[in-house]
Amino acid sequence: MHSLGTNAYRLSISWSRILPRGRFGEVNPSGIKFYNKIIDNLLSKGIEPFVTLHHHDLPQELQDRYGSWLSPQMQKDFVYYSEICFKNFGDRVKYWITINEPNLFVDFAYIRGWYPPGHCSAPFGNCSEGNSDVEPLIVMHNMLLAHAKAVKLYREHFQLTQGGSIGIITNSPMYEPLRDDEADRQAVSRGLAFNIAWVLDPLIRGDYPQEMRHYLGSSLPAFSLEENEYVKGSIDFIGVNHYQTLYIKDCIYSACTSGYDRPIRGFVYTTGERDGVPIGERTANPRFFVVPRGMENIINYVRERYNNFPMFVTENGYAPPKQQNEQFQDLLLDVKRISFHKAYLAALARAIRNGADVRGYFIWSLMDNLEWKDGYSMRFGLYYVDRQTLQRMPKQSVRWYGDFLTNGTSQHISSFKNKNFLSTRSSKLRPAEKY
């Protein structure tokens, strides 16, 4: 990272490494030592650590005892864990992220059942337990309250002396109407509300989006007056993870595939194709396409909805489609990754020139890594990793990105202020060894 010229790095702390049994057991001193070494080494090279407290993994005991995020007890556990991290690392960490992509986690773990604990119900999936229409709302509510309580603790006991800031990250796709009609244009607004605003509206405005209240009614949890006091305004910055732009179709007045025509989905259907034509160039993920305008559009959406709240683009990256007879050299000559980041940075620069308060950009990812359920099949990294030897080899994008960061300031990143960050992010080598 230092040789690249990056000045910031996102890392996630593994909750289980710090507290293997949550608040029901002891702090693991080896876990504290592990992250202290990472943080200290980053700072010794002039690299600012951006630290995420919860990136999907959690102590198994909390799932076994009370069902983890389905229980309000999880809020107490998260605050306890957060306090330990603030005490041990907060003297050096100036940028905290409470939870990475709660909206994606809720979708994959409690609607589709793809992520642990694997809860879902028909027609979304065939799991042994779960209710895809109800559980996601409960889980999100507990996550937002846990976030807000951790922020309250940080602000009251740590922020003044440690001088840091704290935020949250949303999975932030952009949508475009499938058809040029009012119903699909309304579907765009509804899709964004049921995804991004589901997380951010409570933390900035104090309540869930009106679009969700309208369609979910009393099944959507409510914040008490006391809760509203600490939930509203409980972030210092917004983290935007942007990978995809999709077409969206209204499912209120049109027939849709089973599952999309339900309140939990906001009655919208998303697709990457229109009349058989993809919205952009395909990538390794069948739902990710190269659509640079989506970056500018999603930043503008967040800017307009939240009165130009400070933002970081905390993830943006490209994984090439797997080719037949793929050669090793093909993986290193990643010209399409370079083109991707050039185009997306140009789109981001347009949004900044138009006034968006974007303070940094993180490439996903530094190294090819474990992409959750997709394993090692998707290669987002600037560095290739040989899985047999663990040797790390720079791809062509490394030379480009290094030149971009160290030599091209006046030409390429004049839109970014000096305080801003351009960097890399790598995580998830293994669930228990998250960087």
Point out the residues that are catalytic.
Answer: 315
Rounded-to-integer distance, Cα 75 and Cα 148, Å: 9
Whole-number Å distance between alpha carbons of 214 and 219: 11
d(CA 65, CA 51): 27
Residue 431 preceded by cis peptide, ω within 30: no
| Encoded amino acid at 47, one letter | I
At which residue do the structure tokens 């210092």 appear? 236
Tokens (6 digits) for 19: 């507290």
Q: What is the CA 146 to chain-centroid distance, rounded? A: 17
SS (H, E, C) 198-228: HHHHHHHCCCCCHHHHHHHHHHCCCCCHHHH
What's the CA gap between 132 and 112, in Å, rounded? 7
* Preceding amide of 365 cis, omega within 30: yes
Distances (CA, A) of 100 to 41, 91, 139, 318, 321: 23, 22, 14, 19, 26
Q: Cis bond leading into 221, ω under 30°?
A: no
Alpha helices in 306-358 (DSSP H): 328-332, 335-353
Distance CA 421, CA 404 (A): 13
Element (H, E) at 143: helix 135-157
Whether 27 and 67 have beta carbons less than 8 Å apart is answered as no
